[in-house]
Amino acid sequence: MRKSILLAAGLLFSVSSQAQLLDIIKSTVKTKTGVDLDNPSKTNSSATTTSTTTTPAKTSPVNLGNLTSTQISSGLKEALSLGVTDGVKKLALTDGFFKNEAVKILMPEKLRKIDTTLRSLGMGSLADEGVKLLNRAAEDAVTEAAPIFTKAITSMTITDAKNILLSNDNAATNYLQTKTQSQLFTAFQPKVKASLGKVGADTVWKNLITKYNTFTGQSVTTDLNEYVTTETINGVFKMVADKESGIRNTPAMRTTSILQKVFGAQDAK
């Protein structure tokens, strides 16, 4: 019995000593760090609480310096005018349309069955000649396009010039096309009609369609003037867009002070 009492007393003494030691550790930690180990989620009033707040990053607007809307508009118009001048010069050359896959005028979609039928009858050369002459008409007519395009550009009021400047690579060209396509078509169509007659495209196509109708018993017609006019204008716009993209992305292509100033400002967008 005595041994049991002594063992129990020893255990109580050991537990009491451990409890006292633990209390000393807790007290020391709280004094040094302010952390209460009995309540770890709470801190002493003297402890410093750091709160981190995430603030959404703000995108700084592009600094266009002292550029005015008028200056930006002038720069955009000059880029478009250069695109027209260079584009028309290239397209007006022999094969300017015909050997440029980006702008080549193909057989009108609704007449492509004519192409297939004629080739099956051994008249592929006639179909090829028809397509070639459509492109020759465009190459001839496009020389008349420059002043028509230039007039459209100079008379255009670019009210949202800043947004266009800071937009995509061919934003100014798209704006021009949206604002002037119908006027350009009306002004340019007589030039194309004259060129179709000048290069003999109208005669060849009349013969080509007649042969097709004779062999198939059908009565196909098409307005080549409207088709070639649209395709020629689209070809010019394609060249203008390429020029605009070049000026935007290649400083060496900014050959005037206004281009350097305006498009230099958009480099940081």
Task: Check residue 34 and give left, alpha or beta (phi > 0: left; psi -120 to 50: alpha).
Answer: left
**pLDDT, position 63:** 61
Query: Which residue intervals of 107-256 are DSSP H helices?
Result: 112-120, 124-141, 145-154, 161-165, 171-198, 201-216, 224-249
Total length of the chain: 269
pLDDT for the residue numbered 11:
35
- Grouped pLDDT means (10 residues each) for the chain, 269 residues: 40 42 49 54 42 38 75 95 96 97 91 84 87 96 93 89 92 94 94 96 89 82 90 97 96 95 86
One-letter amino acid of 140: D
* 64-68 long-range Cβ contacts below 8 angstroms, 24+ apart: 64/162, 64/165, 64/265, 64/266, 65/265, 67/261, 67/262, 67/265
Report field, pTM of the whole predicted structure over 0.75: no
pLDDT of residue 215: 82
Coil, strand, or helix at residue 35? Answer: strand
**Tokens at 134, concatenated:** 């459509």
Q: How far apart are CA 192 and CA 138, in angstroms?
A: 7
What is the pLDDT at residue 25? 46
Give the pLDDT of residue 27: 57
